[in-house]
Structure formats: C-alpha cells, structure tokens
Amino acid sequence: MPASEDLLKRLGVDIDSETLRLALTHRSYAYEHGGIPTNERLEFLGDSVLGFTVTEYLYERYPDLPEGDLAKRRAAVVSTRALARVARDLELGQFVYLGQGEKLTNGADKSSILADTTEALIGATFLSLGIETAKAMVLRLIAPLIEEVETLGAGTDWKTAIQEVAAARKLGQIQYVVEGSGPDHARVFVATLTIGGTSYGSGSGPSKKEAEQEAAASSWRLLNPDSADSARA
C-alpha cells in the first residue's frame, strides 16, 4: 500500500493527492525545493475548522457549563500537546515532507510540527470533502481527548491533576525521575513518577516536559481506575 493511502486509511478520509501532499509539506522542505507552497495556509484553515468543531460539540454536549469551563475544555483538546499526541497515535511523522535540517534534528517527532501538520490535514479535508466530513474526522480523532477532559473536569494538565489527587489522599511528596537516551538530535526521555517514595506510572517523549506529562497521566489512571475505564468506554 502506498504511504499516502496508508495515511488516508488511518484518517478515514479520501483527500485528493495534490491537496494531501501540500498538507504534508513543511516549510523546511519547501525552502530546500525552490520555494514551493507549504502547508501553512492549510494549517490556518484547519485551525479554524478544528476550533469551530470542538466549540460546537462542547456547546451542545454541556448545555449547563459556563463559558469559562467550556473555554478551558476547548483549550485542552486543541493545544499543541494534544494535537501532537493525536499525530503520534497516527504515526504521522513518517509522512511529513521535511528538509534535511529538520530530519537531522528529529523534526518528525517535534510536537509543533506534528500539531501544525494535523491542522493542515483538517484544512485539506475541508477543501477536498467539505465541512461535514472535516468535522466528522475532527471528532473521530479528538473524541478520546474530550473524554479525558470530561473525566478531569475543568482540568487541562495531568501534572496538576495528579497533584490534586496526591494532596487529597495525603499520599506524600511527588517526584519525577527523568532519564534521557539517544543522540542529541533524537533524544528520548523516560519519566517515572513517585509519590511518597512509591513508583507509579511512567511515560516517554521527545522532551522532559512531555515525558513527565505522560507519567502523570499514567499515574492518574492507576489511582483512578474506575474513572479511567469510563473515559475509555
């Protein structure tokens, strides 16, 4: 199966080949190939489709929530970190056209590039297939994150959430043990969360911050198994 068809299968849409290639063209690649068009205009378009879709969904799903809480929930699922997580689940990095400099610095796993490309793909879906198909794709990709935010309430940060749980249950001091490995251009960090000297969840990522967030999320699920199960249902 060609790479483009594999990606479209993961997205569940059928974007035309020209628009798809544009959506995957990072500016570093475009610069090295004579200044061809980049995905930045599609990213701009996709950002608007994403924001509107999530806003409409939250407005209809939570009729009693005040504006401030709706805004926090929206921010949680349209953030760079959230979109990069969606992209990693899709293994999107392998499909992005990057310049040599970005390739050497592991650009295929940079959260900013992954998030921007995800938005560009949303914009490409809108252009190729219309607003309803684009909205359906957004909700399909983002729904798991919305469910997690619902479980956390207005919380948008796993590290904050785990601090609140640890304090409420008087579990002790929180500490993150982080180790890095690999060459400078492709470092991978693994974080383990300990509370009161007991190890809980661990997580990995291209930065210490992301590894700690994943460790906090994993630990939160271990401490709240019933809520975690309902969020996945």
- Quick: pLDDT tens for 117-151: 999 999 999 999 999 999 999 999 998 888 777 66
From 52-56, 128-132, 184-188, 209-213, the region with the lowest mean pLDDT: 184-188
Residue where a domain terminates, one of 137, 152, 167: 152
pLDDT at position 43 over 60 = yes
Residue where a domain terminates, one of 121, 152, 183: 152
Q: What is the CATH number of the domain that holds 183?
A: 3.30.160.20
C-alpha distances (whole Å) from 197 to each of 106, 161, 174, 193 are: 34, 19, 8, 9
The answer on 137 and 104 residing in a single domain is: yes
Q: How confident is the model at residue 58, as a pLDDT?
A: 93
Residue where a domain terminates, one of 121, 137, 152: 152
Q: How confident is the model at residue 154, as a pLDDT?
A: 44
The answer on 86 and 38 residing in a single domain is: yes
State yes or no: is 119 an active-site residue.
Answer: yes
Q: How far apart are CA 200 and CA 54, in angstroms?
A: 32
14 secondary structure, DSSP code: -
pTM of the model: 0.74
The answer on 218 and 200 residing in a single domain is: yes
Q: How confident is the model at residue 232, as a pLDDT?
A: 43
The answer on 120 and 69 residing in a single domain is: yes
State yes or no: is 91 an active-site residue.
Answer: no
Each residue's pLDDT tens digit, 95-111: 999 999 999 888 898 88
Range of the domain at 186: 158-230
Which residues carry a binding-site annotation?
A: 43, 116, 119
Nearest Cα neighbor of 46 from 114, 139, 121, 110 is 121
**Packed helices 131-152 and 225-232: angle between N→C axes, nearest 10 degrees:** 170
pLDDT at position 46 over 50 = yes
The answer on 172 and 146 residing in a single domain is: no
- With contact defined as beta carbons under 8 Å apart, do 144 and 217 qualify? no
Catalytic pick among 102, 109, 119, 148: 119
The answer on 166 and 148 residing in a single domain is: no
To which H or E segment does residue 69 belong?
helix 67-77
Which residues carry a binding-site annotation for Mg(2+)?
A: 43, 116, 119
Q: How confident is the model at residue 230, as a pLDDT?
A: 42
pLDDT at position 153 over 70 = no
Count structural domains, the chain: 2
Q: Mean pLDDT, the chain, as a whole number?
A: 88
Q: How confident is the model at residue 56, as a pLDDT?
A: 96
